[in-house]
Structure 1
Amino acid sequence: MNNDAVPDFFRRLWRLPTAPARLGRRSTLDVETVVASAVRLADEGGLEAATLPKVAKELDVTPMSLYRYVGSKQELLQLMLDAASPPRTPAAEPSGWREGMRLWASDLWELYTDRPWIPRVPIYRSPSGPNQIAWLERGFAQLADTGLDWGDKLMVLTLLTGFVRHSALLAQDLEEGRSDHSETEDKDGYARALRALVTPEHYPHTAEMLASAALLPSDEPAGAAVRADFDAGLELVLDGLAHQLPEDA
């Protein structure tokens, strides 16, 4: 491979060899060290704990010195995202595209649950790093026998990724909002207030929903209820996909 044809960002992302500096003392840092430190800070304190100044302080260097290894703050985030997203292999071979995509999405959900800062990384570009490409490859493998063309396969993976990412962020935001109140108090107060304000004359469908059992408190732990909502939503997405596939897929 001609490394000269690969842009610097991709060289760092894929850990390709780079030309050493010709002058000055040889640095003790490298891309791997900088990114590993940033990921560790994010795991401990969230995305806001892994800024360039904080990473530099952790490594006892100046923030400006890091630009040699990460290019920019946006690039650091992309390097962190890929490094923190190792591919996961199913314990057993899925039986069919639906089970395969269900496991794919569930494993992505687990990744976002284990490292909640990952879905908060702004999306600056399409998947580019080796770990992201490995996730893409696994998804393509599950769709290989569906009869979908490449554009449709990309659309499926984009849709599922967006669903998982949004679900994870929503779960995080709701958890933060409940930090000072119990889930039962939140749902009870929400339902009571809306029942007093939402009248059947102006909002007939919403009023009917509020009168139903949809907002009754659940006996399930909050985490279990969130996962159940995710699983139910995922099945709806897969149902929609099933209607687009040939009958023999």
Structure 2
Amino acid sequence: MVQWTDTREGYARLGEEYTPDYRGYVINVSDIGEDWYVYAWNERTGTTDWLTRTDTEAVAREILEVWTGVTRSGYLCEIYVSDEIGHCSDNATMVRFTDSKRRPGKHVRIMECSEHVYRSDSWVRLAIPEYRQRWEIDPADSALIGGRLGPVQDGERTWYIEVDHTCQAPFLRSTLRRALNAAEPVWAGTEYVNAARHLSFNLPDSGPWYLTRTELHTLRQALERRRAGGSWGAGVTASCEALDAMAERITAASEHAIRRAQQS
């Protein structure tokens, strides 16, 4: 585990310099009082980049740890990537927000990972520990892009699924109920059975849906079982094209979720 090294008054380094563990350093640049600067090691450029400034050493250390991935912020990036992928599911490190002096604390804000943080330079930027120290992170805050209306806790990775026909949600709920009542088990795991029970009653008619990896796998397995014979089965009067499109979206999102899990 990466440790703080070379700690002395007014300075601390995260990881050993000239080793793969090196992450950067924090330094107090004020002769009187505290004015801490945070510098992070950039592997791509081979330089140490200035990140931000803060009032205390403890917050400066937390900022560097979160930015470099030594510790997690507890929130996910809120950048909307695409219809297929949904929101970025990487660890959030910074907060971009509108600095409105007329409405203190009433910011429009979005949390961003280290990869996306430089894509909105016209906004004010603060590290998550600093932002939380000033205004907290209220679930009632308005995120900027996509369907997230508040901070998403780490671990709640979701994928965006578009709903464009009224037949899709009822069909999926019916498909899940059929799978739950099947003589042979459809899912190998209680978490999928529990997800099927929940979705069979609570999957909303309108979208978009934001589904977890478990929910995507649950739906995908149920759909594959129902279409095993080459069609959706007798008695389906809904638009087959709409159902095919929904199945393709769920399969694509499930495949992406599997790849992300394998990479993490």
For this structure pair, what is the TM-score category when the shorter chain's length is used for normalisation? under 0.3
Say which structure is richer in strand. 2
TM-score computed with the length of structure 1 as normaliser: 0.23
Q: Which has the higher contact order (CA 8 A, sep 6+)?
A: 1
Say which structure is richer in helix. 1
